[in-house]
Structure 1
Amino acid sequence: MSLVLILVALIAFIVITTTRLKLHPFLALLLAAFLAGFAYQVPVSDITKTLTAGFGSILGYIGIVIALGTIIGVILERSGAAITMAETVIRLLGERFPTLTLSIIGYLVSIPVFCDSGYVILNSLKNALAARMRVSLVSMSVALATGLYATHTFVPPTPGPIAAAGNLGLDAQLGLVIAVGLVVSFVTAMAGLWWANRFLNKDIALVDDGTPMPAAEDFAALRARYGTLPSAFQAFAPIFVPILLICLGSVAAFPGRPFGEGMALTVFGFIGQPVPALLVGLALACTLLKGSNKRQEFQERVTEGILAAAPILLITGAGGAFGAVLKVTPLGDYLGSTLSALGIGLFMPFLVAAALKTAQGSTTVALVTTSALVAPLLGQLGLDSEIGRVLTVMAIGAGAMTVSHANDSFFWVVTQFSRMSVATAYRAQTLATLVQGLVGMATVWLLSLILL
């Protein structure tokens, strides 16, 4: 029992230091790793060695993927590719189903672009559609936010799911994580859409901040600021070509060898690895550069991407260090035998991630920390197979979106840009993420009945 109490104390330490004391999650996780080593009586000479090995092993492979994915996202964001994606979806779906259109736009844009940035970029489009279609701005805001939130939480190359996959030993199986993540995130996006439609015809008072309510002309002005927008192929290719290559690489590695044993296997086996695939995506993203000095512009975008990726890399590495220390303690065997007797399986990582997310606000921190905690327990929980690990990533993702409220930066981005009062945002956005998390976990559980 003392082993569990130590673990609870460590989680409480992470939550309190990151929320009350405003300590950066990197330092909180690093200190927690040291405390875990001492509390679980790991030999003092082994603590630092174990911690640094865990930090390096997770970043040795996943770090490059996170950095490349972030750089691609910055280029897409700065080039107006998100606007092109939005307009393409509108052309395909028309304007008959405005909330569905925005939900799908968010679902696609947030694969490479952070949900916070994606919301800011698409805010004018959302306002323009709401004004044109004469529908509730609250409903449109929640549809866009939940669409963005779904793929942000479940689908690589977003850093959170990549880090969780790395912690659970799925470095070489990101294609499978992406494939399952796209399914689970689509279901959760539709759950968010269902909640958004509850406000579709309701007249909800918005906060008056003294500026005029955005209209269709504001989106036209935003569009004009980007100059000539990229084509639909240019906008979507840097996202979907790497995803396709990674999936093909996973297919090539199937035991049945669908591409044979010759050159095709070698080519797809190499280019389908995440790092080469994302390098191809980066090369395609370079076609979006349109300044007179493309070399200088590329340099600036790479620098922006590295700066944006740096805190995520440190948090991911610290999570790996924390997990490595926990792996050498007796906690895994004890918890594994206890939890396997309870038979809660995938619900255990979901509940831990949900508790962390609700307490400290960051989806990425919840994904990284929970995956580090759960990694030593997979065998005892009956989740040590390849598909078991993938479903564990999904269960953690479902927990890591439950719920977004006042301690989450995304909550405030949605609230402020949508002019919702805090009370309205809790009813609309926070409860939407609760619905998404519960539906996401139900989807993962149903998949486990079929696949495990």
Structure 2
Amino acid sequence: MTALLILVLLVAGIVLVTARWKISPFLALMGAALLGGFAFGLPPTEIVGTITEAFGGTLGNIGLVILFGTMIGVILERSGAAIAMAEALIKVLGTRFPNLTMSLIGYIVAIPVFCDSGYVILNSLRKAITLRTGVSALATSMALMTGLYATHTLVPPTPGPLAAAENIGITHNLGLIIALGVPVAAIAALAGLAYASSFSRKEFTPLPAEEGDDLAVQQSWEELRESYGKLPNPFLAFFPILLPLALICVGSVAELPGAPLGEGMFLDVAAFLGTPVIALILGLAAATPLLRGHGKLARFNEQMNDSVRVAAPILLITGAGAAFGSVLEASPITGFLEENLSGLGLGLAVPFLVAAALKTAQGSSTVALVSTSALIAPMLPALGLGSPEGMALSVLAVGAGAMVLSHANDSYFWVVSQLSRIPVGTAYRTLSVATAIEGTAAFATIWVIGRFLL
């Protein structure tokens, strides 16, 4: 019982220092790992070794994957490829269904691009479609927000799900997570879309517009589009996303028992190309033709340097989360939880509820994904989730919890509400509720899948 109290105090401490005092999650997790080692009674000579071994091993396994995934996202963002993808989808869907259009665009763009950046990039498109169709800005804002959020928390190679997969120990089977995560994210996005569509004719009083940022300015999307010059070919824009996803999935299928895709050299090649690091390197190579004009090499180097700066905090938090999880794994709490949780039948509800609590308390979906996955990894066998399917569904359950609940402590909440000129009170009643519905729908889908796979 003492071990459980220590665990509760450590988690509460992480939430307190990150949410209230704005301490870096990296420092909070490393501090919790160090203090937890002493509090659980681990030999002092082993505490530092446990922390550093887990930190270094995790960065060695997942660091390059996160870095290359971030590099692809930065190129897509800076080259206008995200705009090209959006325009290609609009040509297919038209503007008859503006909420569906925004949700689908967000769903695709957020696989490599962070949801905050994705919303900033696509906001001008959202405003133009809102004006042309006469639908409420509340509806299009929520549709875009939830579409971006779905894949941001559920589908690798987005860094959050990747880090969670590493902490739980299933990065060797990312294809399974992608295969399950894509439909789960689709259902979550549809739930958000359904809620958003209920506000299609809802009037509200927007915040005062900033100069040059009025909804009535019809040229905003055109001006943004023109700022990129000639947009990339839509196929070239989609290819850096689709190529690594396809390679990872094929590699995972090739290594299934029974060798469904054959044996010999083909199996070796498929397994090699499907390795996440190799797949993302090839995705990065596929993204480089998006850089056009003079000074391509200089722009490429600049964007790679920016990618390192974007990825660095995620890498540090991921390593610290793994260190915290390693201390928990070496502590008496593992045995206590195995003895007391195995008979409760909570299963996938545990990672979902823990992630939802952390997300709601401290705001960051990535921190919730990393912290929760590190925390629950030692518990999975006791929860009946030790199989590859159970581990993959646990990653998704953590991602579903990391959507619930976006509010004032979440930067994404402010990006959406301020760019969409939605008053704070209205945002609480709409945006926050939309993320709660979306996360709950995702978990319900995961639970149903678990009834068949587990």
Query: Residues of 2 paired with 1:339 and 1:88: CA distance?
Result: 49
Query: Is this contact kept in 2: 1:36–1:325, CA < 8 A?
Result: yes
Matched-pair contact (CA < 8 Å) for 2:116–2:415? yes
Q: What CA RMSD, in Å, does the superposition of the two structures yield over aligned residues?
A: 0.9
Give the match for residue 134 of structure 2. Answer: 134
Mapped to 2, the partners of 1:259 and 1:436 lie a distance apart of 36
SS of the aligned residue for 2:229 comes to coil
Out of 333, 337, 342, the position equivalent to 1:340 is: 342
Distance across 2 between alignment mates of 1:362 and 1:352:
14
Q: Which runs of 5+ in 2 are unaligned?
A: none
Asked if residue 95 in structure 1 is aligned to residue 95 in structure 2, the reply is yes
Alpha-carbon separation, structure 2, partners of 1:57 and 1:317:
8
Give matches, 1:61-100, under 5 Å: 61-100=61-100
Give the superposition deviation at 1:210.
Answer: 5.0
- What SS does structure 2 have at the residue aligned with 1:341? coil
- Separation of aligned partners in 2, 1:337 and 1:77: 49
Q: Assess if the C-alpha contact under 8 Å between 1:367 and 1:400 holds in 2.
A: yes
Amino acid at match of 2:245: I
* Contact 1:126 1:141 (8 Å CA) reproduced: yes
Quote the Cα distance in structure 2 between the aligned partners of 1:254 and 1:54: 28
2:276 to 274, 277, 290: 274
Alpha carbons of 1:281 and 1:210: their partners in 2 closer, same or farther (altered >3 Å)? closer
Note if contact 1:124-1:214 (Cα within 8 Å) is conserved in structure 2: no
Do residues 22 (structure 1) and 22 (structure 2) align? yes
- Within 5 Å, give how 1:264-343 maps onto structure 2: 264-343=266-345
Q: 1:443 — aligned with what?
A: 445
The answer as to whether partners of 2:321 and 2:374 remain within 8 angstroms in 1 is: yes
CA deviation digits over 1:250-308, x for unaligned, max 9? 01101121221111101101001000100110001000011302111111111010110
Asked whether the equivalents of residues 322 and 372 of structure 1 are also in contact (C-alpha less than 8 Å), the reply is yes
Between the aligned partners of 1:71 and 1:210, the Cα distance in structure 2 is 32
1:294–1:349: structure 2 CA closer, same or farther, 3 Å change rule? same
Post-superposition CA distance 1:320-348 (Å, at most 9, x none): 10001110011112112212222111101
Is 145-154 or 260-269 further displaced after alignment?
260-269
Distance 1:82 1:256 in 2: 39
The equivalent residue for 2:207 is 207
Question: Contact 2:373/2:398 (CA < 8 Å) preserved in 1?
Answer: yes
In structure 1, C-alpha distance between the alignment counterparts of 2:110 and 2:249, rounded to whole Å: 19
Q: What is the distance in 2 between the residues matched to 1:205 and 1:67?
A: 42
Cα shift readout 1:63-109 (whole Å, capped 9, x = no counterpart): 10000000110000000111111111111112111100100000000
The residue matched to 1:143 in structure 2 has which SS? helix
CA contact (8 A) 2:150 2:186 kept: yes
**8 Å contact 2:50–2:326 — kept in the other structure?**
yes
Offset at residue 216 of structure 1 (A): 2.7
Correspondence 1:24-423 to 2 at 5 A: 24-211=24-211, 212-423=214-425
Aligned CA distance change for structure 1 residues 117 and 210 (closer, same or farther; 3 Å) = closer
Deviation at 1:19, TM superposition (A): 1.5
Q: State, as a whole percentage, how many aligned pairs show the same letter.
A: 56
Cα shift at 1:214? 4.4
- Offset at 1:390? 0.3
Q: Which residue of the partner structure matches residue 430 of structure 1?
A: 432
Q: What is the TM-score of this pair, normalised by structure 2?
A: 0.98
- The 3-state SS of whatever aligns with 1:146 is helix
**Per-residue deviation, 1:412:** 0.2
Q: Is the 8 A contact 1:129 1:216 kept in 2?
A: no
Letter of the aligned partner of 2:59 in structure 1? L
CA shift, 1:224, in A, is: 0.3
Residue by residue over 1:91-146, the C-alpha shift from the partner in whole angstroms, topping out at 9 and shown as x without a partner, is: 11121111001000000000000000000000000000000001101100000000
Name the stretch that deviates more: 271-280 or 336-345.
Answer: 336-345
Q: Is the 8 A contact 1:333 1:380 kept in 2?
A: no
Cα separation, 2, equivalents of 1:51 and 1:284: 37
In the alignment, the residues of structure 2 paired with residue 333 and residue 84 of structure 1 have an alpha-carbon distance, to the nearest angstrom, of 53
C-alpha displacement at 1:5, in angstroms? 1.0
Give 1:406 shift.
0.3
Residue equivalent to 1:3 = 3
- Contact 2:131–2:215 at 8 Å: present in 1 too? no
Secondary structure, aligned partner of 1:258: coil
| CA 1:210–1:75: 2 relative to 1, 3 Å | closer
Q: Is the 8 Å Cα contact of residues 407 and 428 (structure 2) preserved in structure 1?
A: yes
Cα separation, 2, equivalents of 1:239 and 1:210: 34
Equivalent-residue separation in structure 2 for 1:201 and 1:158 (angstroms): 34
Q: 1:223 and 1:443 mapped to 2: Cα distance? A: 37
In 1, distance between residues paired with 2:319 and 2:216?
42
With normalisation by structure 1, the TM-score equals: 0.99
Count of residues in correspondence between the two structures: 452
Q: Is the 8 Å Cα contact of residues 405 and 411 (structure 1) preserved in structure 2?
A: yes
Give the 3 Å change call, closer, same or farther, for CA 106–201 of structure 1 in structure 2: same
Point out 4+ residue stretches in structure 1 off by more than 4 angstroms: none
